[in-house]
Amino acid sequence: MEEKSNSRTDVIMAGLGGMGVLIAGQILAWAALKKYQHVSWLPSYGVEKRGGLCECTVIFSDQDIASPLIDRAQTVVVFDGSQLKTFEPRVLPGGMILVESSGLEDEQERRDYELVKIPGVEIAVSMGIRQVSNLILLGAYISIRDAMPSELIEKELGRRFGTKKTILECNQKAFRQGLELGRNAKK
Amino acid sequence: MTERMFVQGNEAVGWGALYCGCDGFFGYPITPQNEVTQWFAHEFPKRGKVFLQSQSEVGSINMLFGGAAAGFRVMTSTSGPGWGLMQETISHCVAAELPCVIVLVQRGGPGAGSIRHAQMDYITATRGGGQGGYKNIVLAPSSVQEIHDLIQLGFHLADKYRNPLVILTDGILGQVSESIEVKTIDFGPLDKKLWALRGRERQEDGKSRIVNSAVGVLPLPPYPNYISWLKHIEEKYREMEGSELRYETYEAEGADLILVAYGYTARVSKEAVNMARAEGHKVGMIRPITLWPFPYSVIREKAMLGCKFLVVEDSLGLLIDDVKIGVEGRTDVHLVGILDRHIPTDGGMIMPGRVFEEIKRLL
């Protein structure tokens, strides 16, 4: 275990089945294990193999996690632009929603949180790998919210994909692009 | 040796079983417990242990009967529809005094109901779901660590009392991943299974054994007749009630309102208690860890002090009946149940905020 932290972070990641929502949450949770005593990852998804509503809640803390289910989180990352309205009620007042800008038609209804639009799909397509928009959004989340040191995610990518060089590289590239987008969004 | 892992609740079933010397798993896949079957398929054969996918849950439970009769530590896992199919043979296991562990990962019912989480098998789990009005200990974990720990306790108690034992979890606990410590827990020594069918040549006394689940039809020593055997079974049940009651209280001292919950809704309730305490409300929780035997005494104690009760369970109201038995009409018992989920689909969950709302309404 590396340096200890006393803070608690919670995030709901949401989108449609097949977009890599659950895996992005898993990468975050596994990375958090290196720093936090208590970590939970709770998935929720329907019977559809692709395209059904899908979410996971990730919590990491050095205090006991009373419930892995929470009504509202500090941050909600919406991986599919069309689902902003569905998940807008799930962010805490004063919190933040990071939303995929592709497919985004809904207007922000609540004014008590900050909305940040991230063109994850557009960048992934420009990279030639449509599937990695999840890592772009994860990267943006990490840098905008200072959720944890980005090296922890990099290490987790290595642990998970280390034996598959091409997959590892494109995930790393997407994650770093996301970090950069996040840094620019903060400016 | 302790190992730190990040695993799903369903996988923790396997790690707990492995670390307490389970010999064999017999099961049929069913959502939301598929990861249990998958874990055993992946981990048991390579360690020289038995994993067998049965043709149905009727097959699984009868394989348990056989494995337990031969003196092995055996288990299965299922969800609502499979649980229904197992009832007849669970009753036979009780009658033949065969220790085994059955993990029931609850989903929505009735019928095929839903493949997602719920807590709707409480009554059949705690009241002897098959024929003959039998009893079995029911352990209810509420975290991934506790799943791992209670599986081990479950095998110990099943062997100690020569009785089937049920571990009652749910689809949420099965799916959630948490960091846990995996290790062997020592619960003390157990008698040798001298009654087991191992073949005459392997018995110390060189004599054969019979495992019999129809004592009224075929009385065998040491029970000369049906009633003497029933008396023996009854004494076992009383001993379980006297020795194996387990529960946890949280912020219950001086509380005006007590929440009662098990499984995933106990986690939700704990969060709701924290929310209420942060606003100065005197709210606490009683979490039964054994659902049978049930901690009526602690419920009664709080009812006598005038505490109100709020039961939180993801069903139309089943655990609430046991709370009412404990309360004996002294005070009000309320329910936050499946109709209070955050969205009206099978993916809906009882959320801490909804429980907190009800707490504020009742105080």
pLDDT at A4: 47
Instruction: Provide mean pLDDT across the span B142-154.
Output: 98
Task: Return the DSSP state at A150.
Answer: H
Long-range CB contacts (< 8 A, 24+ apart) of A83-92?
A83/A14, A83/A15, A83/A16, A83/A53, A84/A108, A85/A109, A86/A14, A86/A53, A87/A12, A87/A14, A87/A55, A90/A12, A90/A14, A91/A12
Distance CA B240, CA B161 (A): 8
Per-domain boundaries in chain B: 3-182, 248-362
Of the candidates B125, B197, B131, B187, the one whose C-alpha atom is nearest the C-alpha of residue B159 is B187
Distance CA B238, CA B234 (A): 6
Please provide the CATH number assigned to the domain covering B3-182.
3.40.50.970
Taking the Cβ of residue A72 and every Cβ of chain B, the question of whether any pair is shorter than 8 Å is answered with yes
What fold is seen in the domain B248-362? Rossmann fold (3.40.50)
Among all residues of chain A, which has the CA nearest to that of B173?
A: A42
A38, A41, A66 ranked by CB distance to B176: nearest? A41
Taking the Cβ of residue A30 and every Cβ of chain B, the question of whether any pair is shorter than 8 Å is answered with yes
Long-range CB contacts (< 8 A, 24+ apart) of A160-164?
A160/A27, A160/A30
Give the position of tokens 């048991």.
Answer: B44
Taking the Cβ of residue A17 and every Cβ of chain B, the question of whether any pair is shorter than 8 Å is answered with no
pLDDT at A5: 53
Contact A46 B347 (CB under 8 A): yes
Mark out the alpha helices in A39-145 (DSSP H runs). 84-87, 120-127, 133-145
CA distances from B4 to A36, B106, B180 (A): 13, 27, 6
Distance CA B99, CA B158 (A): 5
Q: Identify whether the C-beta of residue B143 lies closer than 8 Å to the C-beta of residue B268.
A: no
Taking the Cβ of residue B173 and every Cβ of chain A, the question of whether any pair is shorter than 8 Å is answered with no
Q: Is the ipTM reported for this complex over the cut 0.85? A: yes
Q: Identify whether the C-beta of residue A137 lies closer than 8 Å to the C-beta of residue A116.
A: no
Q: Identify whether the C-beta of residue A144 lies closer than 8 Å to the C-beta of residue A186.
A: yes
pLDDT at B115: 94
For B204-239, what is each residue's pLDDT tens digit?
999 999 999 998 898 888 999 999 999 999 999 999
Per-domain boundaries in chain A: 8-186
Distance CA B160, CA B245 (A): 15
Contact A67 B349 (CB under 8 A): no
Each of the 187 residues of chain A gets a pLDDT tens digit; together they read 444 455 899 999 999 999 999 999 999 999 999 999 999 999 998 888 778 899 999 999 999 999 999 999 999 999 999 999 999 999 999 999 999 999 999 999 999 999 999 999 999 999 999 899 999 999 999 999 999 999 999 999 999 999 999 999 999 999 999 999 999 987 7
Instruction: Provide mean pLDDT across the span B337-343.
Output: 96
Taking the Cβ of residue A176 and every Cβ of chain B, the question of whether any pair is shorter than 8 Å is answered with no
Contact A72 B353 (CB under 8 A): yes
Q: Identify whether the C-beta of residue B13 lies closer than 8 Å to the C-beta of residue B77.
A: yes
Distance CA B302, CA B308 (A): 8
Give the type of residue at B36: V
Q: What is chain B's mean pLDDT, rounded?
A: 97
Between A and B, how many CB-CB pairs are < 8 A?
Answer: 66
Task: Return the DSSP state at B284.
Answer: E
Instruction: Look at domain A8-186 and name its CATH class.
Output: alpha beta
